[in-house]
Amino acid sequence: MLIYNSQMHRKQELKTIEPGKVRMYVCGPTVYDQIHIGNARTFLCFDVIRRYLTYKGYEVTFAQNLTDVDDKIINRANEQGRTAAEVAEEYSQAFIEQMHRFGILDPDIRPRATREIAAMQEMIQGLIDQGYAYAVPSGDVYFSVRSDTSYGVLSGRNVDELMSGARVEENDQKRDPLDFALWKAAKPGEPSWPSPWGNGRPGWHTECVAMIHRYLGVPIDIHGGGADLIFPHHENETAQCMCNWHTALANCWMHTGMLTIDGEKMSKSLGNFYTLKEVLDKYPADALRLLMLQTHYRSPLDFSFERLDGTVGTLERLKTTVKNLRWAAKNAPEDGELNDPDRALTKAVKEATAEFTAQMDDDFNTAGGLAAIFSLVTTANTYLTEAGEDISMAATLRAADALEELAGVLGIDLSEKDSSGLPHELVDLAKEKAGYAGDDPEEAAQALIDARQEARKAKDWGTADAIRDGITALGLVLEDTAAGARLRKKD
């Protein structure tokens, strides 16, 4: 398998440190707000990379942090008159919930910065002891960039170039404008922890390195994030690892291209963003997945709702093909001799599977992988129209299974169970009206039906009507059938 290593600027054969095992880490979000679909693109790409490595037979250990202490969190808490811990907890949960909706697998290890203070302090002390970091009277601790002769290896910058762009801030006690904070002295009202350098909190660049060392061991096989993290975040991470443990942090660095709007990077600060939540409230998660995976992970991806609208139709076409194949198989006669068209379909299944793997083996070319899936869809649809009565159950089932399996590697679910068509807003409604705590529209529908039934039994017509009104407002009807009540979309 070839993977593009950003540090080497070329594709390299994947050689894992331990045979058959991949240890990977992807920098997680700062939890101060809902994430936007640009962030989501990066997390999606690594979800698919992880799924594909698993499909290839690797045992993958995947870690991702939550940055739950940071200036942005503290500012948000101050604006809202809440504690930073409350803000971080709310948005950690919100992040995990949206990741689930988007079909992103949970990491095996999800460390949080505030729970890793001891590991970070130990690393910082190690850097101070070896002369790579220093504490200043204010209680800050800085990493001394010039003490690290290999600084700049990852991002390909040299220290003198960086110097010319560096800003010298007033009241700075840094010895060199390039130095970055490993530990920040506490300011009044901020969360802080005791340390050998006085009360304070960790700098952002410190947490991932300490966590990787603690949970995965260094070096790891793959370290990832968006391309905007290469400098300074990843450069600073690798510098700390190199200086403290005298080994590289990662053998392979993978970086995703930016999601843009009208050619401009989507970001909170520019205000040109859509949250993942608002998009998933309106569109099927797999349509957004499909749209994003049609572009190679390293290329920029310009987002628009017109494109997403188009992808909804593409996803439907994929699902309908699988449904039709299964339906045809159910109604097929006993298989007799295989005809030419049956053999052609079986051959197309083999070819699509081989092509999918070849594309994905080449630096996770999801666009090429999807093209292989679409080509099988075309062959399967032609087969269904042309084979008439005389179809082969085995060939059709094999095609349906292959489509589901290959799309499944990309995290796209083509099986019929996902076709309830119930909107995700039902979950919010069920939370409010039925005390539901999960994240599944079908379960939420059942919880609402049960809650309404209870209310009617108790002659609480107000509650029963409020539930029905909420359901109607979502464009759904509540049907009482012989088998019990159910929700369905209004025709």
Return the number of the residue (236 or 392) whose C-beta is nearest Zn ion: 236
The item of Zn ion, ligand AMP, none sharing an interface with residue 208, based on CB under 5 to 8 Å by kind, is Zn ion
- The residue within the footprint of ligand AMP, chosen from 41, 174, 205, 277 (CB under 6 A), is 41
What are the C-alpha distances in Å from 9 to residues 6, 153, 154? 5, 12, 10
> Is the Cβ of residue 119 or residue 208 nearer to Zn ion in the bound state?
208
Contact between residue 251 and residue 7 where contact means Cβ atoms under 8 Å apart: no
Q: How far is the CB of 310 from ligand AMP (least distance, A)?
A: 21
Closest to Zn ion by CB, 208 vs 399, is 208
Question: Is the CB of residue 431 less than 8 Å from the CB of residue 437?
Answer: yes
By CB under 6 A, is residue 30 in contact with ligand AMP?
yes
Mark 262-281 with x for binding to ligand AMP (rule: CB under 6 A) and - for no binding: ---xxx--------------
Under the binding rule (CB under 5 A), the answer on residue 250 touching Zn ion is: no
* CA distances in angstroms from 469 to 155, 420, 478, listed in the order given: 56, 20, 10
Residue 190 binds which entry of ligand AMP, Zn ion, none, CB below 5-8 Å type-dependent: none
Count of C-beta atoms within a 10 Å radius of residue 458: 10
Q: What angle do CA 351, 353, 357 make, to 5 degrees?
A: 115
For residues 359 and 356, what is the distance between their CA atoms, to the nearest angstrom?
5
The residues, ordered by sequence, that sit 6+ positions from 271 with a Cβ below 8 Å of its Cβ are none
Site membership for Zn ion, residue 27 (CB under 5 A): yes
Q: Can you tell me the distance from the alpha carbon of 75 to that of 148, in angstroms, rounded to the nearest whole number?
A: 33
Q: Which is nearer to Zn ion, 27 or 467 (CB)?
A: 27
- In angstroms, the CA 458 to CA 453 distance is 9
Choose among ligand AMP, Zn ion, none what residue 411 binds, the Cβ cut-off being 5 to 8 Å by kind. none
Of residues 25 and 142, the one with the C-beta less far from Zn ion: 25
Q: How many residues bind ligand AMP (CB under 6 A)?
A: 17
Please report whether residue 27 would count as binding ligand AMP according to CB under 6 A. Answer: yes
Using alpha carbons, list the distances in angstroms from residue 50 to 24, 26, 107, 181.
8, 11, 10, 32
Q: Which of 226, 369, 423, 441 binds ligand AMP (CB under 6 A)?
A: 226
Q: Residues 154, 239, 258, 434: which binds ligand AMP (CB under 6 A)?
A: 258
Separation of alpha carbons 256 and 42, rounded Å: 6
For 296-440, where are the alpha helices, taking DSSP H only? 305-330, 340-361, 366-387, 393-409, 425-434
Match 């203070």 to its residue by tokens.
Answer: 117
Instruction: Name the residue nearer to ligand AMP (CB basis): 214 or 265.
Output: 265
Q: Is 412 helix (H, G, I), strand (E, B) or coil?
A: coil
Write the interaction track for Zn ion spanning residues 181-220; mark x where CB under 5 A is met and - where it is not.
---------------------------x------------
Q: Which is nearer to ligand AMP, 172 or 302 (CB)?
A: 302
* Stretch binding ligand AMP (CB under 6 A), from 131-139, 222-230, 310-318, 337-345: 222-230
Q: What 3-state class would DSSP assign to 223?
A: strand
Among 6, 29, 142, 395, binds ligand AMP (CB under 6 A): 29
212 binds ligand AMP (CB under 6 A): no
Q: Note if the bond before 194 is cis, omega within 30 degrees.
A: no
Q: Is 225 in the site for ligand AMP (CB under 6 A)?
A: yes
* CA 330 and chain centroid, separation: 37
The residue at minimum Cβ distance from ligand AMP is: 226
Nearest to 364 by CA among 94, 37, 102, 56: 56
Provide the binding-site residues for ligand AMP, judged by CB under 6 A. 27, 29-30, 38-39, 41-42, 225-226, 228-229, 256, 258-259, 265-267
Provide the binding-site residues for Zn ion, judged by CB under 5 A. 27, 208
